[in-house]
């Protein structure tokens, strides 16, 4: 651990030879560089105020600039290239245009890299890697200068999250093993807004646009007995998702998707797809990730690479019954007497071969659809058509995914919605839903905000959107 810190003013001049405990020689610094394959890796203890979307479980700051100044044999060398595992797009104070910056994300009490007894209880969160293309065996001075970005917090998130409001931030030199451990743990990243994970998005981006927002999700809920209305409890599968576009000038160069399984109240198993309409001839490639509940570990066979021509149309969840289950129970997160269980998290990083105009991309909330393996039916929002040539209803046209009384089999609602309990009709759990359907969506448009007491399963976004 280094004696110097990044101060509460967001700046720091850190002497790499000035340790908190003991001393460091030039040859030892060179050994650290050599161990890290020609780079210096440093850990930062992110120490931010827990207010707004920043909280104990997720905090962040933005790096505006960094330089490492080396003196060796009477010569001075300066290195300004660096990276961290995460980036975001934020606007500087007084500006509204957003640019991409490297970020540091962590959480209170992160213990991925714990200090030894001489480190006074400090722990670390994020890694900075600085390539150094020279030997450090004979250096007489090595000083790291770092400045955090003052963000335009009046814009809300992500700027309000990635400002700096506390300090000082401690810094430590890392071995490669410790750097790899801390990077893999990724404390606080899953809850942070507008995180761009380095290494999966390849295209250059100037800014990011999110739907429904950088911190909110669409909720897709399904009744899977289509075309029969059945119990109409709309908890057969419940999924949360959001979509982000990486902008290059005024066009979309990349696409990312984040989402979670929230509930499964069905004896059937399904595959869940997300279809986003794109111009004919559009092409690109991407990576699909599927994380085990509450874990940074991915399921066997993931991440998966894929290529896509035409509209974006990918199966993001396969075999929902096996993915989300409680031993000895038929359903998950839909019964009043059963404890809650977290679901899988998924994400997609997709780069377009040629950027696409935003106006040429289908409007949100897009076409999230279900394929029911047991019946062979696909289920879409009413305004969409079937897409799978192998499904039972492969000739279903737009407007067909509702019954004779106008009741849909898929709905999209905001992320503070709670699903009905098992076998409780959606119209019983949310009584104004009947007026919404009866008016063909013209009235009672906020039906989802008025649940009936004792008729819903209180899951809560803070639970299903796990850290």
Q: What does the pLDDT read at residue 117?
A: 36
Residue 421 per-residue DSSP state: P
DSSP for 280-343, please give it: TT-EEEEEEEEEPTT-SPBPTT-SEEEEEESSEEEEEEE-HHHHS--TT-S-BS--TTS-----
Q: What does the pLDDT read at residue 253?
A: 95
Cβ(68)–Cβ(144) below 8 Å: yes
Q: What does the pLDDT read at residue 195?
A: 67
Cα 261 → chain centroid: 14
Q: Give whole-number Cα distances, 351 to 81, 277, 283, 408, in Å.
A: 24, 15, 9, 34
Q: What does the pLDDT read at residue 188?
A: 85
Q: What share of the chain is helix, strand, coil (3-state, %, to 5)?
A: 10, 35, 50
Distance CA 309, CA 200 (A): 19
Q: What does the pLDDT read at residue 168?
A: 75
Per the DSSP assignment, residues forming a β-bridge with 148 are 63
Q: Which residue numbers in the chain have pLDDT < 70?
A: 50-52, 109-122, 166-167, 194-199, 467
Report the half-sphere exposure of 235 (CA within 13 A, side-chain side). Answer: 30
Q: What does the pLDDT read at residue 191?
A: 77
Distance CA 254, CA 267 (A): 37
Q: What does the pLDDT read at residue 119?
A: 40
453: left (phi over 0), alpha (psi -120 to 50) or beta: beta
Residue 266, SS3 per DSSP = coil
Helices (H) and strands (E) in the chain, counts: 6, 22
């Amino acid at each position: 651990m280094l004696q110097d810190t990044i101060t509460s003013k967001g700046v720091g001049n850190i002497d790499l030879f000035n340790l908190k405990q003991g001393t460091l020689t030039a040859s030892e610094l060179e050994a650290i560089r050599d161990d890290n394959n020609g780079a210096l890796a440093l850990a930062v203890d992110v120490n931010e105020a827990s207010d707004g979307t920043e909280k104990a479980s997720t905090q962040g700051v933005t790096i505006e600039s960094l330089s490492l100044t080396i003196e060796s044999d009477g010569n001075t060398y300066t290195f300004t290239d660096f990276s961290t595992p995460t980036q975001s797009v934020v606007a500087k104070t007084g500006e509204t245009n957003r640019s991409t910056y490297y970020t540091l994300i962590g959480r209170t009490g992160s213990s991925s890299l714990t200090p030894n007894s001489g480190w006074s209880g400090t722990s670390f969160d994020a890694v900075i890697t600085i390539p150094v293309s020279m030997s450090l065996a004979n250096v007489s001075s090595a000083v790291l200068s770092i400045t955090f970005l003052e963000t335009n917090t009046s814009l809300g998130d992500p700027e309000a999250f990635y400002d700096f409001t506390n300090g000082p931030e401690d810094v430590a030199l890392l071995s490669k093993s410790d750097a790899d451990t801390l990077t893999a743990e990724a404390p606080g990243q899953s809850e942070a807004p507008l995180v761009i994970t380095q290494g999966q998005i390849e295209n250059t981006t100037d800014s990011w646009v999110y739907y429904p927002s950088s911190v909110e999700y669409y909720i897709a809920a399904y009744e899977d007995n289509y075309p029969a209305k059945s119990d109409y409890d709309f908890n057969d599968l419940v999924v949360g998702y959001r979509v982000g576009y990486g902008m290059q000038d005024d066009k979309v160069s990349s696409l990312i998707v984040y989402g979670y399984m929230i509930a499964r109240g069905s004896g059937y198993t399904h595959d869940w797809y997300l279809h986003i309409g794109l111009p004919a001839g559009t092409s690109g490639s991407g990576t699909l990730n599927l994380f085990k509940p509450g874990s940074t570990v991915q399921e066997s066979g993931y991440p998966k690479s894929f290529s896509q021509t035409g509209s974006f149309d990918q199966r993001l969840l396969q075999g929902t019954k096996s993915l989300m289950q409680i031993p000895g129970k038929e359903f998950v997160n839909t019964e009043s007497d059963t404890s809650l269980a977290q679901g899988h998290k998924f994400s997609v990083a997709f780069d377009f071969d040629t950027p696409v105009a935003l106006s040429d991309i289908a409007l949100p909330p897009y076409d999230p659809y279900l394929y029911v393996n047991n019946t062979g039916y696909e289920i879409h929002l009413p305004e969409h058509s079937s897409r799978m040539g192998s499904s039972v209803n492969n000739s279903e046209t737009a407007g067909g995914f509702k019954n004779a009384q106008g009741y849909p089999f898929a709905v999209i609602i905001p992320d503070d919605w709670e699903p009905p309990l098992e076998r409780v009709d959606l119209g019983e759990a949310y009584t104004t839903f009947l007026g919404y359907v009866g008016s063909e969506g013209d009235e009672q448009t906020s039906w989802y905000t008025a649940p009936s007491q004792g008729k819903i399963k209180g899951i809560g976004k803070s639970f299903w959107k796990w850290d």
